[in-house]
Chains A and B, each alone.
Chain A
Amino acid sequence: MAEHLDRMDGGTGTGTDRVKRGMAEQLKGGVIMDVVTPEQARIAEDAGAVAVMALERVPADIRAQGGIARMSDPDMVQGIIDAVSIPVMAKARIGHFVEAQVLQSLGVDYIDESEVLTPADEAHHIDKHAFTVPFVCGATDLGEALRRISEGAAMIRSKGEAGTGNVVEATRHMRALRAGIRRLATLDETELFVAAKELRAPHDLVTEVARLGKLPVVLFTAGGIATPADAAMMMQLGAEGVFVGSGIFKSGDPAQRAAAIVQATTFHDDPDVIAKVSRGLGEPMVGIDVATLPESERYATRGW
């Protein structure tokens, strides 16, 4: 259980693995909401969000407007930091280590190295060990998750397909992650060497997952969650918490929907509660059928 934590060396100071991963442990069972203004951040905090993700445009708008999506304006991130007392996360482009340096200097609590922004490097992700601030990264399967952890990610989320309001890709990724973990647990020592090669992941991490039966960091879900039932389904599929992007502030009644998703995440195994909080929420975000998206418009294929 806390075995993976016990084994970490008893280092002291800031920016240790335990402090970075431990921060994500505190977010478990909670909902992290995309916000673009201080007002939205306050609505999210008031609805019971465990953290907010500060960004300039929600993924649905990035999709609609096109162009290069970058780190948000520091003034905008600062405005949100000043508006709420809960943790504030922000996104950097894949591989853009200077955007990450800027976000760390602003005092954000977690950086999302995110495929929702336009990648800045086609070969390298950020060396996340080099930072004091912790990172969350997206993954579509176990190998990708372990490559991000080996680069220093202290939290993993499914990629899903952001900005679609369609949960189908998040489901695929959560199932793939879980199946990958389950499979490792059935292998013997010799087979784990081959598994590491197939997963293109470090052997020590592969062995650790096989022994723990879970990732050594917290696993959230993201990408297309739009309703309380979506959130609860992801939790039942093994997510330890939920990111909601466009699903809240692109809906008819954001405050009520935000609170409903928070409650459905906590009581994810209680259909009576989910039924109760799902009533009268108004219009959900419109959404996009992922099958109609051309390959070039799929964010989940960004990163490797």
Chain B
Amino acid sequence: MSTGPTRPVVGVLALQGDVREHVAALQAGGAEARQVRRPEELAAVDGIVLPGGESTTMAKLAARWGLLEPLRDAVRAGLPAYGSCAGMILLADRLLDAPPGQETVGGLDVTVRRNAFGRQVDSFETRVELDGLAGGPLHAVFIRAPWVEEAGPGVQVLGRVVGGPADGRIVAVRQGDVVATSFHPELTGDRRVHALFVDIVRRHLADAERGEP
């Protein structure tokens, strides 16, 4: 399955959304990127990215085509996962402002509020400082973005909004090998978040080879 720890195979859930941008960012970040629409494709990757897009659409398609349960099982079993925007919503254990019955993959012990920053006219770009990311603040693009309303004790907060009406809101988190951002690093030329995730996937593979959890 894997081509070895140096160039891990990372899937991008390709049901809908900005799949192409994530594929390009992952390749630039040192991974072999593959689109995932079916359970057998999911089984062949070392990590998975849940892209930006419309979370309700992705959740329905995943459920309809038998991908939701395999995704839940894989993330629960430790498959490294990264979600941006809609992907953060899909990785959340709990949602606010979602239509009744919206399902998620889960894996992050957080409560995420959909469309928390408002409608498209409120979408914005700004700079966000991320814990553990060298090289200064990221240029972050927020599009009808969610935020993390509450994070459980095992969740590491990586970044918050500074200034403005949403000052202090949590927009980047990590729990074990699962990472999520409210914003879209794939829409900028800055590949540091994707490189960080590819590094997580690489370490996960190396640990698995040594037989460690």
Contact = CB atoms under 8 A, between A and B. Distances in A.
A25 B60 contact: no
A278 B123 CA distance: 37
Given A133-B120, A266-B37, A18 B16 contact: no
A12 B127 contact: yes
A50 B114 contact: no
A296 interface: no
B125 to A, nearest CB: 5
Contacts of B20: 1, 28
Q: Interface size bucket, A side?
A: 35 or more
A22 B24 contact: no
A216 interface: no
Instruction: Point out which of B15, B24, B86 has the most chain A C-beta atoms below 10 A from its C-beta.
Output: B15
Contacts of B16: 28-30, 50, 266
A195 B121 CA distance: 35
Given A16-B125, A19-B141, A266 B61 contact: yes
Given A107-B119, A109-B144, A263 B61 contact: yes
Contacts of B49: none
A30 to B, nearest CB: 5
Interface string B105-138: 0000000001100011111111100000000000
Contacts of A14: 121-124
A298 to B, nearest CB: 31
A6 interface: yes
Interface stretch (B68-76, B174-182, B183-191, B204-212): B183-191
Contacts of A263: 61, 64-65
Contacts of B93: none
A304 interface: no
Contacts of A84: 99
B124 to A, nearest CB: 5
B54 to A, nearest CB: 4
Instruction: Point out which of B19, B54, B120 has the most chain A C-beta atoms below 10 A from its C-beta.
Output: B120
24 contacts: A12-B125, A13-B125, A19-B125, A19-B141, A22-B123, A22-B141, A22-B143, A22-B184, A27-B54, A28-B16, A30-B16, A30-B17, A45-B99, A46-B99, A48-B57, A49-B57, A50-B53, A86-B57, A87-B54, A87-B119, A107-B119, A108-B120, A259-B64, A263-B61
Interface of B: 14-21, 24-25, 37, 52-54, 56-57, 60-61, 64-65, 85-86, 97-99, 114-115, 119-127, 139, 141-144, 184, 186-189
State the 10 A-B residue pairs at the shortest beta-carbon distance, nearest first.
A6-B189, A109-B120, A1-B24, A29-B16, A50-B54, A48-B60, A25-B18, A19-B123, A48-B57, A14-B124
